[in-house]
Amino acid sequence: MFLIQNTLVSLDVLEKEFCCDLDTCRGCCCIEGDAGCPVTDEELNKIEQLLPELLPQMTHEARAVVEKQGLSYLDPSGEQVLSIVNGKDCIFARTDHNGWCYCLIEKMKHDKPISCHLYPIRLTKVGEYTGLEYHRWDICHCGRVKGKKIHLPLYQFLKEPLIRRFGQEWYDELCLTAEEWHKQFNVQNT
């Protein structure tokens, strides 16, 4: 783990290579889970404000879930997550005529929840710090293959959402840390 400002960053975030391969997976991470994506109170408030715009675009099943249990629930770990349909599909996931999944929130030109934007990095609370961990999921195998093929580190693939969540100064420090780590690692292994 590396301490960067008020975060603890897993070594995997710097070392693992990853790049979403939507041509292969077609966005199935939105419909193949066992819990909804984590959301902050602030994000939930924004989504509630967008709900009149989103509801007509949601599936009948998703609208029924929202009506019955609301936009979110507490998962077994006590984290607030978006509600899901049939135990796996995000309430804001839709599938187009080609079988591609997309996010209604994002399609309507709004920021999707940061936990979705950061995936496959998951944020956790570690005491007073925010932990950044790489989450490996079988359905993202094609993203690992593509990332290795083009030699794209996970933290570089996720540059935009990392800056969105932590800021440019934090990201610059992360990049410097990665460069120093790789220099040290390459020197020790030569």
How many domains is the chain partitioned into structurally? 2
C-alpha atoms less than 13 angstroms from C-alpha of 2 in its C-beta half-sphere:
18
The most distant pair of C-alpha atoms in the chain lies apart, rounded to whole Å, by 61
Contacts of 168 (CB under 8 A, 6+ apart): none
Task: Tell whether 33 and 105 lie within a shared domain.
Answer: yes
Task: Tell whether 41 and 91 lie within a shared domain.
Answer: yes
Identify the domain containing residue 140 by its residue range.
1-18+120-190
Calculate ∠ Cα 180-157-149, nearest 5°: 90
130-171 tens-digit pLDDT = 999 999 888 889 899 999 999 999 999 999 999 999 999 999
Which single residue is written with the structure tokens 């109170």? 41
pLDDT winner (highest mean) among 23-32, 104-113, 162-171? 162-171
74-98 tens-digit pLDDT = 988 888 999 999 988 999 999 888 8
Task: Tell whether 142 and 181 lie within a shared domain.
Answer: yes
Task: Tell whether 134 and 175 lie within a shared domain.
Answer: yes
Task: Tell whether 35 and 84 lie within a shared domain.
Answer: yes
Final residue of a structural domain among 111, 132, 148:
111
* pTM attached to this predicted model: 0.87
